[in-house]
Amino acid sequence: MDRGFDMSKERRGIRRVRMNWQIKVLLPIAAVLLDGLLLFVLISLSLRNSDRDLVLVIATGGAVAICSVVVMVLAVEVRRPMMELQKKIAEVREGDLQVRVEFAERNDEIGDLGRDFNDMVRQLRESREEIQRLHRTQMSRAEHLATLGEMAAGLAHEIRNPLAGIAGVMEIIGRDLPHDNPARAVLGDVRNEVLHINRIVSDLLEIARPKAADYRDADLVATAEHAAMFARENARHVPVEVVKPAEALPPIRHDPGQIHQVVLNLLLNAVQACHENGGTVRMEFEQDDETVSVAVNDSGKGIPPEVLQNIFRPFFTTKGNGTGLGLSLARRIVEDHGGKIDVTSWLGKGSRFVITLPKKVESHESRDTSN
């Protein structure tokens, strides 16, 4: 990395005798003053009274000369570095981080200021180079992921058609098999596996190539209740209760299809968490001035901390037949709506997932990632 900033000169400077800039300024002034005073005394002693006026003129001339010297010294010692600093700051502001001030070689406080300035510019330059390097890495990673996403979407698309064919053939074979044929059980397993692959592939396709959202002002409670109805069909022995909000919710801008999918996913996870040791699932609503929330509570097995930190990662699942895509998809959909999903869990006691959506959204379309 180009350091640009030559520290050796500064170090060389530091070894020179250090003198405050005030002393540097005052020394020549004091010298001239002393000279003038001596001259005045000498001339006064050696001249007669009549020549005193001439001495006064000479002394005045001397004072003017001294003032000129003071101004010049100030210009050289103080004003010039300040002007240079101003100029270099303007260059830095324009984006040139190769600049350095020459007065950094001075061995006084002004030199210190120069060295600090040069050092600061060097640090800025290094930070900028680091940011540019990180940006390049991120860009190439994003391109890489985009290509992978495209490939996954293409593959998923290709897999779905033959899969539908296999499911169809299974159906026909099953229909033709006698009822007592043991192959029927195998066919059932194959059908379940095909459905499982189809679920994974569909979720993958949804993640890689999300459909355009259809946002509208709609009844969020109705959307969530619709999902609860679907969940009950899968719930078997787990009761799914819906507690209506105490105060009616205003229409909430959302894509009912997408939010239905999110709530259904949370409900099915909750139901599955209650399967082993029993439990109940309860959905409730809350609102404040700016947001509404749908909470899905279960009194199931809870989520261990090491699992909890991974549940939103794509393909993370603890279930034999899980896809591990439900929660990552849910989070993406809710975030596209300008909302968030929070989770709290108590091991052995249950979990609570809360979807929070804004009551007013400026523009969903600006967040629409579909094409």
**Residues of the shown chain interacting with ligand ADP in the complex, contacts defined by CB under 6 A:** 265, 269-270, 273, 298, 300-301, 303, 307, 311, 316-319, 322-327, 351
Burial 114-130 (b: 16+ CB within 10 A, else e): bbebbeebbeebeeeee
Total Cβ atoms within 10 A of residue 341: 21
Least CB distance from residue 260 to ligand ADP, whole Å?
15
Q: Which helix (H) or strand (E) holds 287?
A: strand 281-287
Nearest CB to ligand ADP, comparing residues 11 and 313: 313
Q: What are phi and psi of 285, to 5 degrees?
A: -125, 150
Burial 147-166 (b: 16+ CB within 10 A, else e): eeeeebbeebeebeeebeeb
Least CB distance from residue 225 to ligand ADP, whole Å?
19
Nearest CB to ligand ADP, comparing residues 293 and 351: 351
Nearest CB to ligand ADP, comparing residues 177 and 346: 346
Least CB distance from residue 230 to ligand ADP, whole Å?
15
Least CB distance from residue 270 to ligand ADP, whole Å?
4
Least CB distance from residue 336 to ligand ADP, whole Å?
17
Least CB distance from residue 324 to ligand ADP, whole Å?
5
Least CB distance from residue 316 to ligand ADP, whole Å?
6
Residue 178 burial by Cβ neighbours in a 10 Å radius (0-12, 13-18, 19+): exposed
Supply 49's token pair.
């009274």
What does the alpha-carbon distance between residue 70 and residue 25 come to, in Å, rounded to a whole number? Answer: 8
Nearest CB to ligand ADP, comparing residues 80 and 275: 275
Burial 33-66 (b: 16+ CB within 10 A, else e): beebeeeeeeeeeeeeeeeeeebeeebeebeeeb
Nearest CB to ligand ADP, comparing residues 62 and 322: 322
Nearest CB to ligand ADP, comparing residues 41 and 346: 346
Q: C-alpha distances in angstroms, 67 versus 32, 33, 43? A: 10, 10, 21
What does the alpha-carbon distance between residue 149 and residue 166 come to, in Å, rounded to a whole number? Answer: 26
Nearest CB to ligand ADP, comparing residues 81 and 300: 300
Supply 356's token pair.
């929070």
Least CB distance from residue 344 to ligand ADP, whole Å?
11
What does the alpha-carbon distance between residue 298 and residue 303 come to, in Å, rounded to a whole number? Answer: 11
Nearest CB to ligand ADP, comparing residues 103 and 353: 353
Least CB distance from residue 206 to ligand ADP, whole Å?
13
Q: C-alpha distances in angstroms, 72 versus 79, 102, 138? A: 10, 19, 55
Nearest CB to ligand ADP, comparing residues 81 and 326: 326
What does the alpha-carbon distance between residue 141 and residue 182 come to, in Å, rounded to a whole number? Answer: 51
